[in-house]
A and B are shown apart, each in its own frame.
Chain A
Amino acid sequence: MKIHTEMRFISNRVAAFAVAVFIVLLVILAVCVYLVIKQSFPWQPLLVLIIAVAALLALWWFWIFKPYVASKDEISRFLDGYLPFDAIDKNEVMLSPFTYQEFDRVSKILRSSQTVNLNKRQAQYLALQNQINPHFLYNTLDGIRSEALIAGMDNVADMTEALATFFRYTISKVENLVTVEEELDNCRTYFKIQQYRFGDRIQLHIELDSDDNIMHYLIPKLTLQPILENSIIHGTELKIGTGISTIHMEKTQSRLLIRISDDGIGMDEDTLEDLNRKLGKSGEQLANAEQEKKDGIALFNVNNRIHLIFGEEYGMHIYSIKNVGTDVEITIPATTREHEIKKGVTYATRSTADGTRDV
């Protein structure tokens, strides 16, 4: 068992291979001496030698060369910005024990740094909440609403009510995960506020899967609203005529697929490729924190939170054609219970418990 563990490192394999080559060389030497003494050339030792050399070649190819190429590819992907958020597989072949320790360490640091970023944003919400004093804000907004109703300005009253509801959800509710229903309600509220600005120029359609339970699935808080905001500001606002934003939700065997579409101006292929590349490469986002501000944080923030909470295999992808429209598709696991979520934040907690986390 110990040998098996040791042999998953290519450095140990090379050492073992060198020993095997040395043994084969010794055998060849012994055979040569034997043949010189006997002065005959029997074919059996030669056959054994050929088999031994072939076995060595096969050993080198399958046991050293191919794992080495795979390991090299993995490092090149890492350098290219694709980060292993998941813990390293214990059975994975690596270059040496030090490479393994290095990867393990980097992986832990990455996960903790992501958590720090998430916590930073969480802290920002809390700071905002403390500064604003939500009760004072809601009471003031309610006061404005009452005055507006008395003055017969129903629109102002409705708008104020929508704003209060929006702030209540955004600031007061600090949970990481909310139900689809809560998130959709927030989108409707946000859209109502925007409609006071744009009027009939914008429309919102919500299409839900026939699964009755879909409203109870959990999604990260503030997943939909920032993307809906993007679709209105960058998609439909610049379009001539009425722009339609659509939130489409589907449940598959194990996933929740959320698509926020607009029929706006779309984007060119280069911009689309650049955005999808950045969404795929979490490492690039970490390396270029300043770039985040330039590109707009909404998409990357939501994507990073999904990666952290649910794992690397979930996330966001953008489809777009210029003058046809843009779709942002989000994939997350379909779950109604928070304790079923095994990745992301739970990793961070586990790391702290191990005492191996830096931060």
Chain B
Amino acid sequence: MQREVLRMERVTYKEQDVTYLQNFELNIYEGEIVGLLPINAYGLPAFLHVLRSNPPLYYGYVYYMDTLVNSWQGMKRSSNRISIIGGQSSLVEGQSVLSNIFILRPGFKQEILRMNLLKKQLQPFLDDMNLSISPDTLVEQLTAFERVMVEILRAVVAGSHLIVLLEISTIVNDSEIARLHEIMKHYADNGTSFLYASPHFEELLQICDRAAIMTDGCIVKVLSGDQMKPDTLLNFDSEYDMRVRRTLHIWSDDNTQKVVFEAKNITGQYIKGLNFQVYSGECLVIQNLDNRIFHELIHILTGNEPMAEGTILVEGCAVKPCKNRKMAVVLERPGKTMLFKPMSYLDNLCMTIDERIPGVWMDSKIRKSIRLEYSKILGDDVFDKKIDDLTDIEKTELVYMRIMLQRPDIVFCVQPFKGMDMAHRMRIRELQEMFLVHGIAVVILTINMADALSLANRVIQIKENTVLTEYEQKDFSKLPLTVPWHSLYHTGS
């Protein structure tokens, strides 16, 4: 007999008359690791909301631990003890690991805190995970991997029977993922179930027993057994797959070997003496194996944090990051972080063109001609929309096109594919290809290389304080990764 932890039976969920989940059906057994592959992101936030908070349903039933916890026919509802772990930390900052795991958990009723006893109780769990963290460490001092571990530990201690992991590979690196999988298997053997959401089927194949395919707010298929192999889903991403295969190696010969960007001896709080070069028209992927370095590097490149030491050279001239239009940065989730809502679409588009065309803000004719030119690419409708009314893809297009207008020599893209569905990832790839076609070097800063690698000419891995390894395109097969199209890197075809 299988013990069912979660069962969602024909759930239809609406918010303000918009249907987010339609006949959603999913079941998870005790001790099972189930993958969730969202082909598009539609309905995913609603699914998580239904899973945890039991909002009123339009139709359907939700069972947790074989008990009906939510139904369309109205009932008393409370939250389910399900933990969701993703990019954003749910730990309470300013509090220690110990406090987050024991004291702040629901149901903790001790009036007098016996810290030594709690530490003793925590130690076996930490040993179990082979984790060497002091219980008194403040959570903001933890690395991303340690934070994920602490959140899993907190869920286990709080008695969550189901833990949801959202795109974990975008926050922890490959070696840490391997450790995470071991720990997941360990807890799954002890009866905890996991729902592992990732947009990459290859990633799910590494750890999951079954995989649910979600599209447009509905589970269209649950794959198991012999179906858990990469070929099964070729139909779904065939367009993307063909595009990648077609363009996999076309950028390699365009490299002119002219250095457009050089980081010399960059030093900060965590980064010590980092050096790397970027050539004109190339795509370089920088994989950061240490999360703190990753964030510090982004802060340095965006000019939010000064370097303690070092120089950044663009075309041989020392520049202050982002004070120079020759270099641009596309932040993570640019649609949310790089657009100005009170401004019009056209003004957002022209924002960084002032160095190329100084009179742009004075002369409306220039802006009109820009609109005329770019409406051929972006469509005319978008120019009349408010920023809030744009779709996610339209927002991303706006940011990338703004940079295209700016015409920098180099663009840094921070985790460009994180949290994006397939259609969005495909469009981002097209936009990055457009930069390369125009001779603009693209540097992708990422933790997960699944999509980025297929566009790259070179990969450098950074760990602790230095460039750990550098791979040319011909050596990509040596990368210790399970990424899409990995087999193609062997043959070079």
**Contact surface of A with B, Cβ cutoff 8 Å:** 70, 73-74, 77, 82, 84, 86, 89, 92, 209-211, 250-255, 257, 269, 272-273, 276-277, 279-280, 313, 315, 317, 319-325, 327, 329, 331
Q: A280-B10, A280-B59 are in contact. Are A321 and B74 (CB under 8 A)?
A: no
Is the C-beta of B221 less than 8 angstroms from some C-beta in chain A?
Answer: yes
Q: Which residues of B contact A (CB under 8 A)?
A: 1-4, 7, 9-10, 12, 22-23, 25, 27, 29, 56, 58-59, 61, 66, 68, 71-74, 213, 215-216, 218-222, 227, 232-233, 235-236
Closest to B11 in A: A280
Q: How far is the CA of A279 from the CA of B29 in the complex (A)?
A: 25
Tell me if A255 and B222 are in contact (CB < 8 A). no
A277 CA to B217 CA in the complex, in Å?
Answer: 13
B221 touches A273 (CB 8 A): no
Contact (Cβ within 8 A) A250 B2: yes
* Interchain CB contact under 8 A, B216 and A269: yes
Q: Identify 7 new A-B residue pairs, CB closer than 8 A, beyond the known A321-B220, A321-B233.
A: A77-B59, A86-B73, A209-B1, A276-B23, A321-B213, A325-B221, A327-B221
- Residue from the set B2, B4, B227 with the largest chain A CB neighbour count within 10 Å: B2
Would you call B25 and A209 a contact (CB within 8 A)? Answer: no
**Chain A, residue nearest B60 (CB):** A280
Q: Are A327 and B220 in contact (CB under 8 A)?
A: no
Query: Which residue in B12, B71, B73, B220 is a CB contact (below 8 Å) of A269?
Result: B220
Number of A-B contacts (CB under 8 A): 91
Q: How far is the CB of A188 from chain B (nearest CB, A)?
A: 21
- In the complex, the chain A residue whose C-beta lies closest to that of B23 is A276
Given A84-B73, A254-B66, A269-B220: A313 in contact with B1 (beta carbons within 8 A): no
Give, as a whole number of angstroms, the nearest-CB distance from B24 to chain A.
Answer: 10
Contact between chains at B1 and A252 (CB < 8 Å): yes
Q: Are A89 and B74 in contact (CB under 8 A)?
A: yes
In whole Å, how far is A111's beta carbon from the nearest beta carbon of chain B? Answer: 15
Q: A269-B215, A319-B219, A327-B222 are in contact. Are A252 and B2 (CB under 8 A)?
A: yes
Residues in B whose Cβ lies below 8 Å from that of A331 = 9
Which residues does chain B contribute within 8 Å of A269, judged by CB atoms? 215-216, 220
> When chains A and B are docked, how far (Å) is the Cα of A252 from the Cα of B1?
6
Residues of A within 8 A of B232 (CB): 324
- Name the B residues within 8 Å of A276 (CB-CB): 10, 22-23, 218
Tell me the complex Cα distance, A317–B222, Å. 12
A273 touches B4 (CB 8 A): no
B73–A315 contact, CB under 8 A? no
B66 cross-chain contacts in A, Cβ below 8 A: 252-254
- Say yes or no: A82-B72 contact (C-beta < 8 A), given A251-B1, A319-B221: yes
Q: What residues of A have a CB within 8 angstroms of the CB of B12 in the complex? A: 280
Which 9 pairs between the two chains have the least Cβ-Cβ distance?
A252-B4, A276-B23, A253-B66, A319-B221, A317-B25, A321-B221, A211-B1, A251-B1, A280-B10
Say how far A89's CB is from chain B's closest CB, in angstroms: 7
Residues of A within 8 A of B216 (CB): 269
> Are B227 and A324 interface neighbours, CB within 8 A?
yes
Q: How far is the CB of A260 from chain B (nearest CB, A)?
A: 14
The answer to whether A252 and B218 have CB atoms under 8 Å apart is: no
Chain B residues with CB below 8 A from A252, complex form: 1-4, 29, 66
Q: A70-B74, A77-B58 are in contact. Are A253 and B1 (CB under 8 A)?
A: yes
Q: What residues on B are CB-neighbors of A315 within 8 Å? A: 9-10
- A82 / chain B contacts, CB cutoff of 8 Å: 59, 72
Measured in the bound complex, the distance between the Cα atoms of B27 and A331 in whole Å is: 11
Q: Given contacts A269-B215, A273-B22, is CB(A320)–CB(B220) below 8 Å?
A: yes
